[in-house]
Structure 1
Amino acid sequence: MEQKTMSRKTMLILLYLQRGELTEHLIYKSLAKRVKDEHNSDILRRIGEEELRHAKIWEKMTGKQVKPNRVKAWFYSMLALLLGYTFVLKKMERGEDKATKGYAALIAEVPQAKQISEDEDRHEQQLLAMLDEERLQYIGSMVLGLSDALVELSGTLAGLTFALQNTRLIALSGLITGISATLSMASSEYLSAKNSGDKNAAKSSMYTGIAYLFTVTFMVLPYLLLESYVLALILMLVVVVVIIMLFTYYTSVAKDLPFGKRFTEMALISLSVAAISFVIGILVKRFLGIEI
């Protein structure tokens, strides 16, 4: 097809796809260097090369050279370092789905789009077959530590907030409770995994403990930074919702799970426990007549 017969809309779409292919080439190339498994690394490298080939096909059709989005490529590389390459690949996979729809719309005017679309479908299958990142094997342990910390500590801090009405005392109590609970949860997870015959019981315990301690730290932080116990309580509850939202989004992308239902369920449980504990704190302070 001659370039002159191409509509302006199609030209803009092709330039967008051309840049996207170049950007994904850089991302796959970067991930291939970081993935230790040789088989997975080789697949990523080959897919990256195909992305580059696709970009050259679009370049011949548009007659223009474009530059990749290096900011996006860098961002995804950093994201892979922080959250793992599985999360990044799943995010890219969702982008592939959108691109495939774009190719389908172009097939009538650009026949080559059909072959590229088939390549993209093959990419998706290869990616799904290779995803076996260690940290995803311990999602269950992370969920255990994080959910337990959110429910238990949000209730504890909410109850202590009205009972003590002193951010330093609340923070001190929260830290002691949180650190003790972290050790308890990690130990329980280790013993449970060990008794189940899990050879990686220590790692399961570690992931549970890290998730619990991470949650404790951020939930207690408002009481260390603020003087007003009311504002600290409000900020703590905001932190709870944000942590739930981020972690639920991470697992929903990495494990192909529904986001909305899981987020709503976890948020309602944590906030309900916090509300009940807050009321208990009021009642205990009133009936015992304790003044601090």
Structure 2
Amino acid sequence: MKADKNAISDFLFFQEDEITSSIVYAKLAHIVKDSENKKTLLQIAAEEKAHYEILKRHTGKEVAPNRWRIFKYYWLARILGLTFAIKLMEKEERDAQEVYARYPEYPELEKLGRDEEVHEQKLIGLINEEKLEYMGSVVLGLNDALVEFTGALAGFTLALSNAPLIALTGSITGIAAALSMASSEYLSTKSEEGDSKHPVKAAVYTGIAYIITVVALVAPFIFIENVLVALGLMLVMALTIIALFNYYYAVARGESFKKRFLEMAILSFTVAGISFLIGYALKTLTGIDAA
């Protein structure tokens, strides 16, 4: 039965979504190595194509896939991991069940809505990829670098008042701290019985996350002579890193972005503020001026 005029726009929207998703899942199936993951993705791709055919019977129209979405999710999976790309795609999709419920005269569409829910449940337990397995190590490196290093640089800013000197001191401190954190993660992972993580990989992930954060936070003091302006830009960089990482983590893990972002931002900026005041106090008490 062909849909009436009121329903046709909704059905066309989902028709495009179904054919686009079918192509995305099929392309993602070709980049995964795990055979079970590949099988599940191909099955979902076939189901999405079947949904498209059902909707086409109601609209009487062929609909072209959204090439931008195909490109977007394929490369997100390549760069940021399969889990992130799939979870983001599911998150951004319009609620099919809610829309189809408006049209009880098309009972077969209820099955389409139920299938979408089944897809989500399948996808939740689908992926076992290294990026997420070592997420705890990345969290450790980032959290420690952001909290400790924003505080250290804020303290150096008032104590030293010299941008090149702050950058040099911060770089030495940061690299030493990164090596220390990587070593600690190696020993910690090695001592945990039954942990599937490889100690060396866990240490590398922790160290790299820490060093990338150090480079980003030190950079303003290398390129900007005014230490207060550099400090302000450093705090903006820290906030940006917190936002980007927590968005990735929230999507991949299905957690609240707002809660994690606020918690980490408040902690980092509180430590930075206290360290800034300590630097000012020590400079005043000692009378040392490195400017």
Interval of TM-score (by shorter of Structure 1 and Structure 2) = over 0.9
1:1-292 superposed matches below 5 A: 1-3=1-3, 6-7=4-5, 9-96=6-93, 98-106=95-103, 108-197=104-193, 198=195, 200-291=198-289, 292=291
Greater CA drift, 197-206 or 13-22: 197-206
Distance between the aligned counterparts of 1:104 and 1:235, measured in 2?
Answer: 50
Calculate the aligned-residue CA RMSD, in Å.
1.6
CA distance in 1, matches of 2:280, 2:140: 29
CA distance in 1 between counterparts of 2:18 and 2:2 reads 22
Once the two structures are superposed, residues 169-202 of structure 1 have per-residue CA deviations (whole angstroms, 9 ceiling, x without a partner) of 1111111111111111000110111122346111
Q: Residues 213 and 99 from structure 1, CA distance in 2 versus in 1: closer, same or farther, beyond 3 angstroms?
A: farther
CA distance in 1, matches of 2:211, 2:248: 18
Name the stretch that deviates more: 221-230 or 80-89: 221-230
TM-score with structure 1 setting the length: 0.93
Deviation (angstroms), 1:137:
1.6
Give the match's secondary structure for 1:124: helix
Judged with a 3 Å threshold, the aligned counterparts in structure 2 of structure 1 residues 32 and 284 are, in CA distance, closer, same or farther, namely: same
After TM superposition, the score normalised by the length of structure 2 is: 0.94
- The 8 Å contact of residues 96 and 120 in structure 1, kept in 2 or not, is answered as no
Work out the CA distance in 2 between the residues paired with 1:97 and 1:253.
Answer: 16
Which 4+ stretches in 1 moved above 4 angstroms? Answer: none
1:97 CA drift (Å): 6.6
Q: What is the letter of the counterpart of residue 286 of structure 2? A: L
Matched positions, count: 288
**Corresponding letter in the other structure for 2:206:** T
Percentage identity across paired residues of the two chains: 48
